[in-house]
Structure 1
């Protein structure tokens, strides 16, 4: 899906075509971490021991297609890292897949751990800073069967996994994100409640309800597929993990309770304690899914409540972290009735939310008012078929990041999402975020886009 407005936005890039102009645009220092990000399940392929793999293969699956071999990054990571380096980028954020490391509870796979250490070593050999995420949405299937992210025992399980992995990373990795988008479960809970209330009062056909819910799913920054047989999918998913009640299923990307939210924070604190104990030189933090929240007259209270839920109530758990990973793709607007579409929106992305690149700078500035550690943009990007639109987005987003640095904010890095076109969770392979296209029909051939080189040109 490419909107006509994306084509219009692409024309803004005409003034950046010459190499001379691109060199003048370099806006980040040599030491600034300028890179791209991936998540293991979305790029590696054949993650057969994870909760996602099971859900992708159900009769009534919410996934538009299974991940399969994904984009074969597991076998092709060297090629991908070299493309990143050759474009001028100096950092790569990627995740370690817990389900590979501990496929059965208490049983660890040293060979799989070795694979990730080889990735770290290859990055270092190329002069690329590896930034490692320990948990990026997907979990071992056994963890979900025993209660998942609503079970207090998950904290100890995560701590055990981190304690196993950490010694191999010590002395090699300088930055670790414990948990990706630690607030995602609460965001999904709020989304589902809002959707259910809307649907109960709406005289719509099932098709119209599904379309309305899919549009509303753009409120969360993850690939959610809303379909008319959601109840059948929920029942199948619950049964696959041994539950009769779908509400008992607690994957990381399912609606979470207040108690479940606290379990995620406890898991982060436990992981941080292990890292500080075994490798105190490593800078540790987590990442949060954040929006640029804007209020029209009458919407101020809604925006403030949303910010408290999305960010402020996590401060007691992260205030002693070394850095915060800020992940922002767009804005959300509010008026006296609550969340509304932006009145001046021009174009939208494949994901359904507004193309609004300067949101990231606004979020960094607001976060810095309360969080006083370093800031890293661990994800920011756009899903679009038009790479000229992607370049405009990167230009405007990084311009807003550079402005924050000029104001004295401690922003240490920017990671575009994503290095590769990949498996966008329940939305499958149709969402194209990548700086590199992958031909999955012809041997997973890589085709770097112009946006990759453009991003690399922004570092001096």
Structure 2
């Protein structure tokens, strides 16, 4: 396998809630533990990365990886509004130190989907106060840890809320309902009775969703969550990974800008960026306008808010195909991953090229990978994806790193532990780690 150039970061990514375990103050913990949860199982101890991070980082280093993108958990740092936990700051200081001791560049993400439960109780990501609250949390962390960091991603997949809103708007529109009616019993009944082909597919969005629940269970779960957050109406639940208004979409970008301002005031040399969930848009003749519109919604309309960022975090797993009428489809007979995506490792290089047309700063692939029980397929995915990225570098695109998703098999949100994204397998009965061949394959591409 060809190696990446000297200084190019080759690593893997995780998200705190998916790997650490016992994130008891977060909004996800609340949603996982109601009686009729939409989650197929709770995160619980996850894969105990909180206590075993030294072993996990050492395995990365021994395999040859040179970077680790991980997230700091807001709900741990600020479990109650305005009350910060210095013990948790020290935990993340130790994680960063462990990275450096093992020759691993730490890339910190300040928000990866999960938020403190108290934030949701006060309106969450549709409340304009979230901008200052997020910036205040970021300031607290960076004041204490910024001297140890070179890279910070403010928010992971800042466009995820809009993607979910688009899917549900299309779904509800096919039944004559509106997105605001999603918690209404009649609308929910229509959803349950809708033709199968009109329903959103779990592979339509790059996050683990559980769309297999019955209408009654879903309704009960929504009501239980509202009560747990102290809300009267389930429509008032605005987590980061939920439907949003156009205003809520822009609030995320304002939170990013506020956080970047705080970071730069404290440590001007830290490179700051954001990550977006993107697809490789591939139209047939006649589908070009639909593909261009989708790309604009996923990426281009955020450009005014990120144009001056130091880097952009590109995250892609597959492509989206458009027929002559502009409808999205999955080609017949293609290989699918456990997540329902098409196996299409060429997507990430195509996405990087598309991003580079408009974004003129550095680019880092902050997530790319596949869920599969067959590690030989993961290895093929990595080989094809990285070969395309090396061609991007040869063509002069300022690509600075590749972070594979994920370092280890973990908690894939509403789907639980069934999705196998990891370079490392974890036996959750005893938390034993076993490196897969794909870990060593990726590590062999780094030049130290």
TM above 0.5, one fold?
yes
What stretches of structure 1 of length at least 5 have no aligned partner? 1-24
Structure 2 equivalent of residue 376 of structure 1: 364
Aligned to 2:132: 156
Residue from 294, 298, 312 that aligns with 2:282? 294
Partner of 1:274: 262
Corresponding residue of 2:354: 366
- Distance between the aligned counterparts of 2:140 and 2:299, measured in 1? 30
| TM-score of the pair, normalised by structure 1 | 0.91
Among 424, 428, 432, the residue aligned to 1:436: 424
Q: In structure 1, what is the Cα distance between the partners aligned to 2:89 and 2:261?
A: 21
Alignment of 1:30-429 (within 5 A): 30-198=6-174, 216-226=201-211, 227-229=213-215, 230-343=218-331, 346-429=334-417
Give the whole-Å Cα distance in 2 for the aligned partners of 1:79 and 1:208.
49
Q: 1:164 to 1:361 in 2, by over 3 A?
A: same
Partner of 1:454: 441
Whether the 8 Å CA contact 2:167–2:200 is kept in 1: the answer is no
Three-state SS of the structure 2 residue aligned to 1:368 is helix
Residue by residue, what CA displacement relative to the aligned partner does 1:411-437 show, whole Å, maximum 9, x if unpaired? 000000000100000000000000000
Once the two structures are superposed, what CA deviation does each residue of 1:93-118 show, in whole Å capped at 9, x if it has no partner? 00000000000000000000110010
Moved over 6 A (4+): 204-208
- Unmatched runs of 5 consecutive residues or more in structure 2: 178-188
Instruction: Identify the range of structure 1 (165-174 vs 259-268) with the bigger mean alpha-carbon deviation.
Output: 165-174
Deviates more, 1:279-288 or 1:233-242: 233-242
Contact 2:425 2:433 in 1 (8 A): yes
Q: Do 1:214 and 1:225's aligned partners in 2 also have CA atoms closer than 8 Å?
A: no
Instruction: Name the SS for the 1:338 alignment partner.
Output: coil
Shift of 1:271: 0.3
**Residue in structure 1 matched with residue 182 of structure 2 by the alignment:** none
Instruction: Indicate conservation of the 8 Å contact 2:66/2:446, yes or no.
Output: no
Question: How far apart in 1 are the matches of 2:237 and 2:195?
Answer: 22
Take 2:401 and 2:333, find their aligned partners in 1: how far apart are those partners? 28
Which residue does 1:11 correspond to in 2? Answer: none
1:199 offset after TM fit, Å? 5.4
Give, in angstroms, the shift of residue 210 of structure 1. Answer: 9.5
Shift of 1:212: 5.5
Matched with 2:181 is: none
TM-score where L is the length of structure 2: 0.93
Give the superposition deviation at 1:459. Answer: 1.9
**Greater alpha carbon shift after TM alignment, 343-352 vs 395-404:** 343-352
Contact conserved, 2:323 with 2:329, CA < 8 A, in 1?
no
* 8 Å Cα contact 2:158-2:276 kept in structure 1: yes
Q: Is the CA contact (8 Å cut-off) linking 1:210 and 1:228 kept in structure 2? A: no
User: Are the aligned partners of 1:209 and 1:228 in contact in 2 as well (CA < 8 Å)?
Assistant: no
Structure 1 residue 239 displacement after superposition:
2.5
Taking a change above 3 Å as real, the CA distance of residues 396 and 111 of structure 1, as seen in their structure-2 partners, is: same
Alpha-carbon distance between aligned partners in 1 of 2:426 and 2:269, rounded to the nearest angstrom: 37
Change (3 A) 1:244 1:338: farther
1:52-98 CA-to-partner distances (Å, cap 9, x unmatched) read 00000111111000000000000000000000010010000000000
Deviates more, 1:214-223 or 1:354-363: 214-223
Query: How many aligned positions are there?
Result: 433
Say if 2:159 and 2:298, in contact at 8 Å, map to a contact too.
yes
Contact 1:191 1:217 in 2 (8 A): no
| CA shift in 2, pair 1:457/1:342, >3 Å | same
Alignment correspondent of 2:186: none
2:432: which partner in 1? Answer: 445
Give the Å deviation of 1:266: 0.7
